[in-house]
Structure 1
C-alpha cells in the first residue's frame, strides 16, 4: 500500500513538474471522516471539460477581462503599433466631437449677437425720439417755466391739504353740499337726440403734465354723477406711466384742473392698467393691472364694489391699439351706458364691443366688428356707435371707421381729426359736455363734436 502511494505521488510530481504552476494540491475529509488528498492539473490539450462547472466559466471570463484591461492600458500608454492606430482613431473621433460642439456654440453666439443688435437698434430709435422731444422742450422755455410754476403750486397745495390747512378741507365739504343744479350751467343739463358723427373741432389745451409719468394717461368728467358730492364739473385724472399706478387726482372744476390744484388724491386699492379707465355715475371703472379683471370703484365710499373677469378678453399687450401701452381693454361711456372695447383669440384680434351692466359689470350683449384692434390708434363710443381713429401720431388723420350696434352695420368714413402733439394715447367721449377728451403727448385736450341732426356742438 505504501509502495502504491509512493508511485502515485511520483506520478503526480512528474506531471506537476511539466505543468508547474498550473497544478495544485488540496486536502479535505470525505463523508466518512477519512483524509483525502487531491491533485488538480490543467490539461494543456483541452480548454474546458464537457459539462464543466460555472467556476471554470467565471475564471475564463476573468481571464478575458484581464486581457482587455491590459489592452486598454497599452492603448492609453500608446504602446504597440496596433494600439497606436486605435488611439489615433479614438483621438480623431474626439476631435470631431469637439469641433461639432464648437460649431454649435459659434452659431448660438451669432444668433445672440443678432438679437442684441436688434435690441440696440430699437433702443437707438427710442433715444432718437426722446432727443427730439427734449429738443422741442428746449425750444419752448416760456411754456416750461409756466408748467414748472403750475407744478410748484400743485405741490404746495397738496402739502397744505394733507398736513396743514384743515379749514380748507372743511370749506370744500361745504361747497359740495350745494345742489348740483346751482353749479352746472343750464346749457349742459340736456342735449338733443343722438346722430352720426359729422365733424370734430380743433383740440383745446387744458393742462400739460409736469413729469415723465404724464407722458400718457386718462382724464375725464362724469357725464351722469349721482348726488351733490361730485358733479359734472369735477375733473378726474390718472397718470398711467409706471408699474404700480394707483393715484387718482380729483379737481373741483376745470379751472382748478388747469391751475394744477387738486382738491383730493385717492389711492386705489388695486393698480390700474393703461388708459382704458372711465368715470360714470360716481364710479371709476378700470382694468386691473396684468389681468382681464374689470373693477368698479365707488368714488363716494372710496371702496371697490364690483369685479368681473371680461370673458376671454386679451390683456397686457395681446390686442392693444397700434400705439401699444397695454391698451387691450378700453372702457367707454355714451348715451347708452357703459361699454368695453377689446378683442379675443377667437376674434383673432378684431374689435369686439360689449355693453356692460354698470352695477355688476356683467356683459349684456356683444358685437364683433371686422376691423383689427391693433390697426387703429384709438376708439370711442357715441350714441351706440363705435368710431376708430386711424393714427395716433399723424397731425392730420381721420376717424376712419364706424360700427353701429343698433343696426349691426359698419362703414368707412373720413372725419378729419388732429393729433396736435403727435402721440395721442387716450380718446373718450362725454355726452353731457358733447366733447371728446384726449391725452396727447403730455397734453390734456378736448375736441368739440357735431352730430348729424342734433345741431351745433356744445361748449
Structure 2
C-alpha cells in the first residue's frame, strides 16, 4: 500500500512537471445545453523515461536506508563490547598514566627496557641450547622432590627431638618411684565390661561423661577419694552445668544418695560445660568452657571457676572425634593417669593432628606439650595410661579397637595395636582411664561401661 501511494504521488509530480506551469485557455461553442471544445492532449504526454529514472532512485534510496539500519543495529549490538574494551584499556593505562604524570619513566626508559628484554630472551635461548629444557625441568623436579622429602624428614626429626626433650623434663619424681605399676609401658589387653549400667538420667541422654575421682593419694580421705560422678549433656548433646556425684560405688550402682553439683547457674552460662571431655580430678572439675576455646576448672570446695586459654586450640566442632560418625563438641578432652592430669586436643598449627598437654591441676597451667602425627578426626576417642596416649577407632556397633599408642617417655608412636573393646551402642561420647582402680570408663550412648586395663 505504501509503495502504491508513493508511486501515485510520483506520477502526479511527474505529470505536474511536464507542464510549464501556465494554464491554457481554449474557446468553446455553446450548443444546446452543453459546451464543446477541441483540446490537444499531446501537451500532457506521460514522461515514462523520467518516471523509471526516479523509480530507480527511490529503490536505491530504500536499499541504502536498509543497509544503514543494519549497520546501526550491528553497532548497537557491539557497543557494550566496545565500551567494555575501552574500560579495560583505561584501567590498564591508569597505572602507566600515574607513572607518566609523576615523571617516573620516559620513552628512553621504555627503549632501555625493550633492549634488556631482548638480551634476556637471547640468554634464555642460549641456555635452552646448552641445557635441553626437558632435562632442566627433570632436574628441577628432582631437586624439588628431594627438598620436600628432606624438609619432611627434618620436621619429623625436630618433632621427635622436641617430644624427647619434653619427656625428659616432665617425668615427675613420684612417677619414677612408681615404675613398678607402669613397668610395662603398653597395655596388652582390655577386659570385657565389668560394669554395665544405664545413665541415672536415662538412655535419652546419649552424650556425657562419667567415672571415678582420678587423683591418686586421696583414696583414704573421707568424702573425697572414692566418689563416682556422672555428667550428662543437654541442649542438643552439647551443654551442661550439673555434675552428679555418689560417695561410694554401692550408692552409684543403686543410684541413691547422690549430690548434684552446679558448676554454673545454667547450661547457657559462661561457666557452663561444653562437650563430653569432662574430668573430675581431686577436688576440681575440669571441662571445656561454654562456647569458648578456654579450659575451665571448677573448685568443688571454694566454688570458684578458673579459666585457661591454650593458643591455636581447635574448638566448636573444628576438630571433634570422628572416624565413623563425628561426636560433636569433643574438640577438648581431659584425661588422667599415673603421671597426672592431661588435656587432648588439636591445633591448626599441627594440621588437626592430636596434641597432648600435661597440666598442673592446682596452678592450672600447661607444663609441657607433645605433638603427634595422628589426625584427630580419624579416631573415635583417646585416653592416657602410664604416660601413653591411646586412640580408638570404630569397628562395628558392638566393638571398638585401640589401634594407636604414643609414648610420652620416648616421643614415639605405635599404630600396630589391635586391642578390642566391647560396647552396647554405636557412639562413644567419652572414654577415660582411672589410675586408682586401673579401669577405663566409657559413656556409650546413654550406657555407662567400665573395663579393666590389662598389662
TM category (shorter chain) comes to 0.5 to 0.7
1: CA distance, partners of 2:318 / 2:408: 24
Kindly tell me: are residues 191 and 221 of structure 1, through their superposed partners in 2, closer, same or farther at Cα, counting changes over 3 Å? farther
Q: How does the TM-score come out when normalised to structure 1?
A: 0.55
- Conserved 8 A contact 2:424-2:447: no
Q: Which range is displaced more, 415-424 or 378-387? A: 415-424
The aligned residue for residue 375 of structure 2 is: 372
* Unmatched tracts of structure 2, length 5 or more: 1-65, 79-177, 265-270
The structural deviation recorded for 1:255 is: 2.5
Kindly tell me: are residues 265 and 292 of structure 1, through their superposed partners in 2, closer, same or farther at Cα, counting changes over 3 Å? same
- Conserved 8 A contact 1:213-1:241: no
2: CA distance, partners of 1:292 / 1:227: 35
Q: Is 1:193 the counterpart of 2:181 in the alignment?
A: yes
- Conserved 8 A contact 2:228-2:247: yes
2:192 to 198, 202, 216: 202
2: CA distance, partners of 1:206 / 1:370: 35
The aligned residue for residue 433 of structure 2 is: 429
1:381 to 371, 380, 384: 384
- Conserved 8 A contact 2:210-2:443: yes
The aligned residue for residue 352 of structure 1 is: 355
Secondary structure of 1:424's aligned partner: coil
Kindly tell me: are residues 247 and 336 of structure 1, through their superposed partners in 2, closer, same or farther at Cα, counting changes over 3 Å? same
The structural deviation recorded for 1:288 is: 0.3
2: CA distance, partners of 1:89 / 1:246: 74
The aligned residue for residue 180 of structure 1 is: none
The aligned residue for residue 410 of structure 1 is: 413
- Conserved 8 A contact 1:248-1:268: yes
Number of matched pairs: 277
CA RMSD in angstroms comes to: 3.0
2: CA distance, partners of 1:450 / 1:244: 34
The structural deviation recorded for 1:226 is: 7.8
Kindly tell me: are residues 88 and 424 of structure 1, through their superposed partners in 2, closer, same or farther at Cα, counting changes over 3 Å? same
The aligned residue for residue 390 of structure 1 is: 393
The structural deviation recorded for 1:385 is: 0.2
The structural deviation recorded for 1:229 is: 5.1
- Conserved 8 A contact 2:224-2:282: no
2: CA distance, partners of 1:417 / 1:263: 29
1:32-431 to 2 correspondence within 5 Å? 193-194=181-182, 195=184, 196-203=186-193, 204-211=195-202, 214-224=205-215, 225=218, 228=221, 230-242=223-235, 244-269=239-264, 270-304=271-305, 306-322=306-322, 323-391=326-394, 393-411=396-414, 412-431=416-435
The structural deviation recorded for 1:199 is: 0.8
The structural deviation recorded for 1:418 is: 1.8
The structural deviation recorded for 1:218 is: 0.4
2: CA distance, partners of 1:260 / 1:226: 21
Kindly tell me: are residues 266 and 421 of structure 1, through their superposed partners in 2, closer, same or farther at Cα, counting changes over 3 Å? same
Which of structures 1 and 2 has the larger relative contact order (alpha carbons within 8 angstroms, sep 6+)?
2
Kindly tell me: are residues 191 and 262 of structure 1, through their superposed partners in 2, closer, same or farther at Cα, counting changes over 3 Å? farther
The aligned residue for residue 162 of structure 2 is: none
Secondary structure of 2:363's aligned partner: coil
- Conserved 8 A contact 1:213-1:239: no
Secondary structure of 2:429's aligned partner: strand
2: CA distance, partners of 1:400 / 1:238: 27
Secondary structure of 1:273's aligned partner: strand
Q: Which range is displaced more, 194-203 or 226-235? A: 226-235
Kindly tell me: are residues 447 and 303 of structure 1, through their superposed partners in 2, closer, same or farther at Cα, counting changes over 3 Å? same
The structural deviation recorded for 1:380 is: 0.3
The aligned residue for residue 118 of structure 2 is: none
1:438 to 432, 442, 448: 442
- Conserved 8 A contact 2:219-2:225: no
Task: State the Cα deviation string for residues 420-439 of structure 1 (Å, max 9, x = none).
Answer: 32222111000101100001
* Unmatched tracts of structure 1, length 5 or more: 1-80, 94-189, 452-459
The structural deviation recorded for 1:441 is: 1.3
- Conserved 8 A contact 2:360-2:367: yes
The structural deviation recorded for 1:394 is: 4.1
Secondary structure of 1:214's aligned partner: coil
- Conserved 8 A contact 2:219-2:226: no
Say which one has the larger Rg: 2
Secondary structure of 1:374's aligned partner: helix
- Conserved 8 A contact 2:327-2:427: no
Secondary structure of 2:252's aligned partner: helix
